[in-house]
Amino acid sequence: MKTKRPQARQSKQGFTLKKVVGAMALMLGFVIGLFYVCYVYFKDVEVQRAENRIVLYQSTLVEALERYQHLPFILAQDPLLRRGLNGFEIDVVNSRLEDFAFRSRLDAIYLMNTEGLTIAASNYASEQTFLGQNYNFRPYFQDAMDERRGEFFAIGATTSQPGYFIAEAVRDENGNPVGVLALKLDLTPLTEAWRAGGEAVFVANSDGVIVLSSDNSWRYQTLGALTDVRRNAIAAERQFGSEPLAPLDWVNRDNGIVDIDGTAFLHVVTAIPRLGWTLHFLADESRVRERALLVVVFVTIVAFVLLALVGYLRSRRLKVALLASQLARRNLVTVNTKLEEEIAERRATEARLERARSELARAGKLAALGQLAASVTHELGQPISAMRNYLTASEFESDAGAARLAKRLTGIVSRMENITKQLRFFAGPGKENVEEFDLRRVLDGALELVRHDLKHQGIEFEFSKPHKPVVIMGNRQQLEQVLVNLIRNAVSAMETSDVRKLVVEVSKSETTATLKVLDTGIGLGGRSIETLQEPFHTTKPSGEGMGLGLAISTAIVNEHKGTLSVVDFSGVESGTRVGVEFIVELPLAHEREDS
Ligand code: ADP
């Protein structure tokens, strides 16, 4: 049983720990699952939004590129340009082109001859004028000369400013190209607007070079490595000036997410078919994570609040139940205590009853004995006296045989007298002799009676008493009888002892007078005082003792409101101390008066 209990506690603790770990794992699983679901949901929402946004960007870009598509063709119809190409009125052409550029808010409009040499330009007056520059290396010039509309995005060879170029051939009356009219559109305001919108957008050309971007640092970087052939072709067209065209630090993660310079973005792409460009819209992925996290935190807080509420309600219920059980327990304890008290009372009553019963029995025996004693004393008193007188008379006779007989008879008679003396106590209450007296006189009286016997039997004896009187109230003769009885018992007990010593002591305390009789006899052999006090309990041979001495002594002491007790040293190994000590305690006379 003892070893099972800690095991049970251990397994219970283990079970609780497992439950806690299980609950925590479940909660963690729930939180991760919830985060994943929210993440997927908010990503979808964000992708949807990005797709809407990219359509908007696409339309503004296409619109910006489309707006001037037909302008070079229209302007090329102007006969002034043909005259200019033939070397006339160049100044007029210059100012006409300047006027056109100003009105249509174009970067530049310029006219090239068939060699690609710029002969007139809207910026003829500016420091970085295109006048005199040869642009025959540009694809848009070549396309226009081949009777196609030329379109091209490049960094300006003269101004170093990026721009979108559109070119159209200027034809003579026969429709043959005699020159090329080109315009340059500055797309910087568009990208400025993107940047101002706070969103990340860029456009890559067919080579994967970023040509427009809301973030200037990404511009002219490549989405993939360029082949040497393409790199050489770009250099020949001087499309991107001296830009190194380094690859952009980006990783495409396949799940619609790209990392650029270590930042994750949701990535949506759409095509700009006109130039073979691609438009890229980037939405910050951290927004998705933040939203998902926010929902998780909110749900977790709500869950915790609910849990706390449930816990609180549960603990309140438990508390109420506990209080009820405590009350029930208290009631039970009260009932139990009452029951225990009742049991104890019952036991005490039983013990009292038992005591009363035994006292009654003893009193009954003593009462019977009293009657017996009265009759025996009455019956024996007269004949004994007559016998004594008779025997005394016969002692004077000379016959030796008769004398011996007389001696034997005297012995028998004294024994009979002894018996009657003891029985005399029962014959009358003896209350008429009650007086105040000194207990030391009882000692002296008893000593007178037994001194001769003690000396005769060779018993060493020691009597001690205080100097001051020990006054008690009672019957002196009866107490003398008690003391003589105790001394005679002590003498009998020492019959077979090697050391034979008797100590009798009278002493007093504040309220009590004490009488002690100590011997070196054989001891009580384990018998209690109650046993010894039983009438007719004796170890002496028939005729020598009737077992009445202590019964009578107890009755006398009780009548004096005192106690008779005994200490048996025979079983105690304390040096030479053997034998027993009878102790009689009596109230002092003034004490009795007080009470
Ligand atoms: P009795 O002396 O006639 O036997 P008591 O009532 O005086 O009757 O004593 C009863 C018994 O108690 C004695 O027989 C004896 O066995 C025992 N007793 C009394 N006093 C002593 C004592 N001092 N030492 C040992 N035994 C004693």
SS3 assignment, position 214: coil
- Substitution site in 492, 497, 582 for ligand 1 pocket (most atoms within 8 Å of beta carbon): 492
- CA-nearest residue for atom 13, ligand 1, is 538
Residues 6+ apart with CB under 8 A from 289: 39
Q: What are phi and psi of 155, to 5 degrees?
A: -85, 135
- CA-nearest residue for atom 21, ligand 1, is 489
- CA-nearest residue for atom 7, ligand 1, is 549
In terms of DSSP bridges, do strands 277-284 and 200-204 run parallel, antiparallel, or are they unpaired?
Answer: antiparallel
Please state, in angstroms and rounded to a whole number, the distance separating the CA atoms of residues 36 and 519: 104
Name residue, tokens 């340059």. Answer: 184
237 near 151, Cβ under 8 Å?
no
Check if 65 has its Cβ closer than 6 Å to any atom of ligand 1.
no
Check if 535 has its Cβ closer than 6 Å to any atom of ligand 1.
no
Could you tell me which of 497, 499, 482, 489 has the C-alpha nearest to residue 581? 489
Name residue, tokens 């100003």. Answer: 102
- Substitution site in 487, 532, 564 for ligand 1 pocket (most atoms within 8 Å of beta carbon): 532
- CA-nearest residue for atom 18, ligand 1, is 489
Cβ atoms within 10 A of the Cβ of 67, count? Answer: 11
Ligand 1 centroid to 426 CA: how many Å? 19
Res 593: pLDDT:
44
Res 15: pLDDT:
72
Ligand 1 centroid to 538 CA: how many Å? 6
Name residue, tokens 């929210």. Answer: 38
Check if 497 has its Cβ closer than 6 Å to any atom of ligand 1.
no
Check if 553 has its Cβ closer than 6 Å to any atom of ligand 1.
no
Fold of 431-587: Heat Shock Protein 90 (3.30.565)
Q: State the burial class of residue 361 (Cβ atoms within 10 Å of its Cβ: 0-12, 13-18, 19+).
A: exposed
Atom of ligand 1 nearest to the CA of 547: 8
Check if 491 has its Cβ closer than 6 Å to any atom of ligand 1.
no
Ligand 1 centroid to 523 CA: how many Å? 10
Residues 6+ apart with CB under 8 A from 48: none
- CA-nearest residue for atom 23, ligand 1, is 490
Written as tens digits, the pLDDT of the chain (595 aa) is 444 556 666 666 667 888 889 989 998 999 999 999 999 999 999 999 999 999 999 999 999 989 999 999 999 999 999 999 998 889 999 999 999 999 999 999 999 999 999 999 999 999 989 999 999 999 999 999 998 889 999 988 888 888 999 999 999 888 899 999 999 999 888 889 999 988 999 999 999 999 999 998 999 999 998 999 999 999 998 899 889 999 999 888 878 899 998 899 999 999 998 889 999 999 999 989 999 999 999 998 998 899 999 999 999 999 999 999 999 999 999 999 999 999 999 999 999 888 887 777 677 667 666 666 665 666 566 667 666 766 676 666 666 667 666 676 776 676 676 666 666 665 555 555 789 999 999 999 898 888 888 998 899 999 999 999 999 999 888 899 899 999 999 999 999 888 899 999 999 999 999 999 999 999 998 888 999 988 778 888 765 677 888 988 998 898 899 999 999 887 665 555 688 999 999 999 875 444 3
Res 361: pLDDT:
67
Check if 532 has its Cβ closer than 6 Å to any atom of ligand 1.
yes
Please state, in angstroms and rounded to a whole number, the distance separating the CA atoms of residues 66 and 338: 108
Res 38: pLDDT:
93
578-to-256, 455, 469, 498, 574 alpha-carbon distances in Å: 112, 21, 31, 11, 8
SS3 assignment, position 15: helix
Ligand 1 centroid to 443 CA: how many Å? 20
Fold of 69-186: Beta-Lactamase (3.30.450)
Question: Would you list the DSSP string of 384-395?
Answer: HHHHHHHHHHHH
Check if 507 has its Cβ closer than 6 Å to any atom of ligand 1.
no
Please state, in angstroms and rounded to a whole number, the distance separating the CA atoms of residues 505 and 517: 7
Q: What are phi and psi of 269, to 5 degrees?
A: -125, 145
Res 80: pLDDT:
92
Name residue, tokens 């405590």. Answer: 326
Ligand 1 centroid to 540 CA: how many Å? 8
Domains 69-186 and 431-587 share a fold: no
Ligand 1 centroid to 485 CA: how many Å? 9
Please state, in angstroms and rounded to a whole number, the distance separating the CA atoms of residues 69 and 91: 26
Check if 550 has its Cβ closer than 6 Å to any atom of ligand 1.
yes
Check if 524 has its Cβ closer than 6 Å to any atom of ligand 1.
yes
What are the residue boundaries of the structural domains of the chain, listed by start? Answer: 69-186, 431-587
234-to-133, 186, 187, 378 alpha-carbon distances in Å: 19, 20, 20, 166
- CA-nearest residue for atom 26, ligand 1, is 524
pTM of the predicted protein model: 0.51
Amino acid at 404: R
Q: Within a 13 Å sphere around the CA of 205, how many CA atoms are in the beta-carbon half?
A: 19
Res 255: pLDDT:
82
553 near 564, Cβ under 8 Å?
yes
Check if 170 has its Cβ closer than 6 Å to any atom of ligand 1.
no
